[in-house]
Each structure stands twice: as C-alpha cells, then as structure tokens.
Homo-oligomer: A and B are copies of this chain.
Amino acid sequence: MELDQRIKHLLKHGNLRMTTVRKLVLKEFLEAGSIALSSYEIEKKFEDLDRITLYRTLKTFEECGIIHQAVDVSGRSKYAICSADCSNHNHEDHHAHFYCKKCERTVCLDDVKIPTLNLPTDFQLEDSQLVLSGVCGACQ
C-alpha cells in the first residue's frame, strides 16, 4: 500500500482526525520501520513542530495501538510503529528491543520474542519488556 494510503487507513482505524501534525509524525514512523524514534528526534526534524503537540500525538498513537513504546536504557522513551496485530489499548508486539551504545539507536527485534518465564506464584504478570544492549551491526 502507498504511504499516504497507509497513513489514512491507520488514522481512520484509530478514529483519529487527519491533522497535519499526525500525518507528518505517522509518516516518520512508517518510514523508520523497526527503528524506534524519540520525541526529540522527531522534533528536531521539523522546526515548526510544537513540542507539546508532539507529546500528545505520541500518547494518542500509543493508546490507539499505532505505535508502541520501547523502554530505553538511557531513560528517554522511544516509539516504533506497531505490527498489524495491535489495536486500541491492546498491544501485541511482545518482541525484544536492541539499544546500540554507539549510535544510540533502538531497533525492534521483531523475531526475538520474549520467552515466558516461571514467576513466583503470587506475581500476576501483565507486561514484559526486554531490552538488549551492545553494539549494532552498522557500528562495528
């Protein structure tokens, strides 16, 4: 599907209005693919993009199952486009993320699923995040 079509489809599916900012931001995520983006990275790409609006856009996208958050070792949060299985308030992308200490990029390892582990019985598990870090292929 063409980019503009995918953008339209995703926003419609999430019951979101087609605003300039949303189209702009969503395009970035679609183009980034499995690379997770921080708010700052998106912000500096578009000079006249309001910081606050951007934060709200990210939050909205996350709630609609369009993007998912990847906990970053550095503390700042990054986001990447979801797989098709995600929907409103129901993220299905239980894959690991890799953080490269050199280029500071976070990528989704879509094929590395988080294994199920035996927890002590009194813990009720809801989510799990696995962050691997080291040096990525491009930086070696």
Contacts and interface: CB of A to CB of B under 8 A. Distances in A.
Interface of A: 71, 73, 75, 77, 96, 98, 101, 109, 111-112, 114-115, 117-120, 122-137, 140
Nearest to A96: B117
Query: So how many copies of this chain end up in the complex?
Result: 2
Closest 3 CB pairs of A and B: A122-B137, A126-B134, A124-B135
A120 B137 contact: yes
Contacts of A112: 117-119
Contacts of A128: 130-133
A127 B96 CA distance: 13
Contact of A115 (B98, B115, B119): B115
A74 to B, nearest CB: 10
A115 B131 CA distance: 12
Contacts of A134: 123-127
